[in-house]
């Protein structure tokens, strides 16, 4: 069944912050910034800043299993999402992110993250709908209307296992290439001496 992103997740903009983000060790909230995310690995929790939030509006907290969508990228790149893999209290996202809180009864966060980051699916949609010349932007309205095939949770689980297996295989292949390169360097160095 095909669903729009807004039917599979609540979509919210990151925390509005007027001042420069500076680390306040005694702050009330952790904040995720661009420096704290790795596209395929998630959030680096050990380097998060703490801040104090001002204002009367209750902040939108980020939870483990949410996705952080990066909607503005330089041309040549594609917008992408990052799976929040850390469970910290009082965690907010910088205004550069759009927060996707998935409906866990309908879609797995890992599946949605894969779909958004897939060149064949999300990438194709973003190329077609991005705005801007040197910096590409995906407005919230465009993101909300992204169509997503939503198979059963059982099939999504199988897709996730397949994705994880492919990622592990990629890591093994990269390790083998590095070892082969080191071996070749050593062999060639022996011939040169």
Q: pLDDT tens digit string along 125-139? A: 998 988 888 888 899
Mean pLDDT, range 53-76, rounded to an integer:
87
What whole-number distance in Å separates Cα of residue 48 and Cα of residue 40? 18
Mention every residue, 6+ apart, whose C-beta is less than 8 A from residue 31. Answer: 15, 17, 21, 48, 49, 50, 51, 91, 92, 93, 94
Percent of all residues in the chain with a pLDDT value above 70, rounded to a whole number: 100
CB-based burial of residue 168 (10 Å sphere; 0-12 exposed, 13-18 middle, 19+ buried)?
Answer: exposed
Q: Domain 2-150: which topology?
A: Adenine-n6-DNA-methyltransferase TaqI; Chain A, domain 2 (3.90.220)
pTM of the model: 0.85
- Is 26 a residue whose pLDDT tops 80? yes
Beta strands 42-43 and 49-51 are unpaired
At residue 99, the 3 state secondary structure works out as strand
- Is 18 a residue whose pLDDT tops 90? no
């Amino acid at each position: 069944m095909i669903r729009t992103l807004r039917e599979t997740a609540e979509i919210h903009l990151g925390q509005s912050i007027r001042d420069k983000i500076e680390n306040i060790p005694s702050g009330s909230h952790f904040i995720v910034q661009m420096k704290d995310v790795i596209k395929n690995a998630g959030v680096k929790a050990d380097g998060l800043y703490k801040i104090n939030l001002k204002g009367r509006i209750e902040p939108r907290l980020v939870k483990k299993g949410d996705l952080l969508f990066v909607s503005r990228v330089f041309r040549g790149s594609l917008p992408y999402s990052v799976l929040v893999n850390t469970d910290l209290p009082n965690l907010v996202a910088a205004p550069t992110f759009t927060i996707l809180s998935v409906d866990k009864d309908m879609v797995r966060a890992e599946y949605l993250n894969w779909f958004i980051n897939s060149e064949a699916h999300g990438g194709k949609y973003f190329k077609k709908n991005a705005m801007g010349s040197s910096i590409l932007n995906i407005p919230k309205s465009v993101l909300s209307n992204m169509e997503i095939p939503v198979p059963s949770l059982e099939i999504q689980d199988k897709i996730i296992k397949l994705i994880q297996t492919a990622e592990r295989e990629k890591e093994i292949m990269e390790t083998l290439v590095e070892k082969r390169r080191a071996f070749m360097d050593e062999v060639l160095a022996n011939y040169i001496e």
